[in-house]
């Protein structure tokens, strides 16, 4: 049985929309200039993800998007949840696994 290869570029337009909604990319420094719905605690160049059974919120740098293991996790999230949900970017993995991955990428 052939092994399914993950897409190298998962839905670029959908990923852009998610990052725009969940990140501070391009956010102005003045708190009063924040677009409605943008979390105020997300530093510039970072975005929020929800991980694990309890959906713990983590703030991670946008640079992690280039890491191959994180790309695989995004593909898994797309397959499991799709890109159309209101909670933000939810990653389907245990929190311990996610923390190990983020520690490797620093």
Comparing CA positions, the residue from 20, 4, 10 lying closest to residue 78 is 10
Q: How far is CA 52 from CA 25, 57, 99, in A?
A: 24, 9, 11
Q: How many domains does the chain have?
A: 1
pTM for this one? 0.64
Residue 3: inside a domain: no
Residue 17: inside a domain: yes
Q: For residue 79, what are the domain limits?
A: 12-104
pLDDT the model gives residue 60: 93
Comparing CA positions, the residue from 13, 9, 12, 76 lying closest to residue 49 is 76
Residue 70 pLDDT > 80, yes or no?
yes
Residue 6: inside a domain: no
23: helix, coil or strand?
Answer: strand
Query: For residue 42, what pLDDT band results from cuts at 50, 70 and 90?
Result: confident
Convert the pLDDT of each residue in 72-102 to its tens digit. Answer: 999 998 888 887 766 778 898 999 999 998 8
Q: How many CA atoms lie within 13 A of 41 on its CB side?
A: 6
Q: What backbone phi and psi angles, to 5 degrees, belong to 37?
A: 90, -10
pLDDT the model gives residue 96: 94
Tokens, residue 78? 């797309």
Convert the pLDDT of each residue in 3-39 to its tens digit. Answer: 555 555 545 665 566 555 555 454 444 444 445 555 6
Beta strand ranges found along 25-96 (DSSP E): 46-51, 56-61, 89-91
Residue 23: inside a domain: yes
């Amino acid at each position: 049985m052939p092994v399914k290869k993950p897409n190298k570029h998962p839905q670029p337009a959908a990923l852009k929309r998610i990052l725009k909604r969940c990140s501070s990319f391009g956010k102005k420094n003045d708190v009063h200039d924040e677009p409605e719905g943008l979390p105020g605690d997300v530093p510039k160049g970072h975005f929020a993800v929800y991980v694990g059974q309890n959906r713990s919120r983590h703030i991670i740098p946008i640079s992690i998007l280039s890491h191959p293991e994180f790309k695989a996790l995004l593909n898994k999230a797309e397959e499991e949840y799709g890109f159309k949900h209101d909670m933000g970017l939810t990653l389907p993995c245990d929190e311990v696994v996610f923390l190990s991955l983020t520690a490797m990428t620093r």
